[in-house]
Amino acid sequence: MKNLVGVIARLALVVAVAGVGYFGWQWWLAQQPEPLPQGIVFGNGRIEAVQVDVATKYAGRVEDVLAREGDLVEKGQLLVRMDTLELEAALAQTQAQFAEAEQAITQSEAILLERESELNLAESTLRRAEKLLPQRALSQEEYDQKKSQREVASASVAAAKASVNTAKRSADAAKAAVNQIEVQIADAQLKAPTIGRVLYRLAEEGEVLAAGGKVMTLMDLSDIYMEIFLPAKDATRLSIGADARIVLDVAPGYAGVAKVTFVSPEAQFTPKQVETQEERDKLMFRVKVHVPHDQVVKHIEKIKSGIRGVAYVKLDDSVAWPAELNRLFPDDLSQMKYER
């Protein structure tokens, strides 16, 4: 009797364990995401942004640095002022030379008018002498003198015109020197080439930098993307402009809208930052998935580079996104639930 009770107890335990295992298995299956439809593939990557160096064009001393690390800056915003005292002195000098050149033009044009007047007089005198010569009212010698005076006056006009042209060329050169220094002064005001965030402040006020010296580095927020690697069978079917979704590891319940903007024309070994050795050993094609600028602007205060995630791309436009990839990031990111 005792043996029968023991057998029944063991059988009950086996049944209970099997029931727990079955229901546990069903719960685990329910937690797994739906398999991706045919025509959608994915790859691992991280959010990346182009880094832009703000550097001096000419050697000089840093006068003022107007942005700190972490600051969000707009395109065209003044970031750094270089010392321009020497340039301003050179500008004043070249402006004075330009004023002298313009005055020289005025003087040479006045001399030209005088020489043209003398030529007109000499030609009138010669015409009268030509009428008097046949009447013997004028000697040949006097006629030759009138003719020589006309030729001298004509040569003087040509020389005066050459002087005017020379003065104008000198003025052009002086004006070009003024423009050159004005450009150098403008280039001493270092402005943000794009909307971005200051990553590194590389120079401080008072430092003397060589030409091309870096003052700070920006993260270009107009160019946010994720790079993934796809095998040839998928890359050959992928089109530029194809729809994409980006899911971040820190917020796996949401997806961001994106577009495929680049597919490498040649295969390569997958780089080391890809997580699995199996993927790194394959020849893959590099793909860039860009976040639209309007989405970047909407969430610009939250954007960080280096965040890992997964990019999903459509190989077939007719395929619909599954429900989990259509749950987009909300406009108010404070409503999101993040992975801890």
Q: What is the pLDDT of residues 73-117, one digit of tens each?
A: 999 999 999 999 999 999 999 999 999 999 999 999 899 898 888
> If pLDDT is split at 50, 70 and 90, which confidence band does 30 have?
very low
Strand partners, 290: 225, 259
Question: 186-244, pLDDT tens digit by residue?
Answer: 999 999 999 999 999 999 999 999 999 999 999 998 889 999 999 888 888 999 999 99
* Rounded-to-integer distance, Cα 299 and Cα 197, Å: 13
Q: What are phi and psi of 9, to 5 degrees?
A: -65, -40
Asked if 181 contacts 94 with a C-beta cutoff of 8 angstroms, the reply is yes
Structure tokens given for 78: 């003044």
What pairs with residue 248 in β-bridges?
A: 251, 309
Helix (H, G, I), strand (E, B) or coil at 153: helix
pLDDT of 249-294, one tens digit each? 888 888 889 999 999 988 877 665 555 555 555 678 999 999 988 8
Distances (CA, A) of 185 to 84, 87, 174: 6, 7, 17
**Measured between alpha carbons, how far is residue 191 from residues 67, 88, 225, 260 in Å?**
11, 20, 24, 31
Rounded CA-CA distance 245/259 in Å is 8
- Based on C-alpha coordinates, what's the Rg of the chain? 41
How many C-beta neighbours within 10 Å does residue 199 have? 17
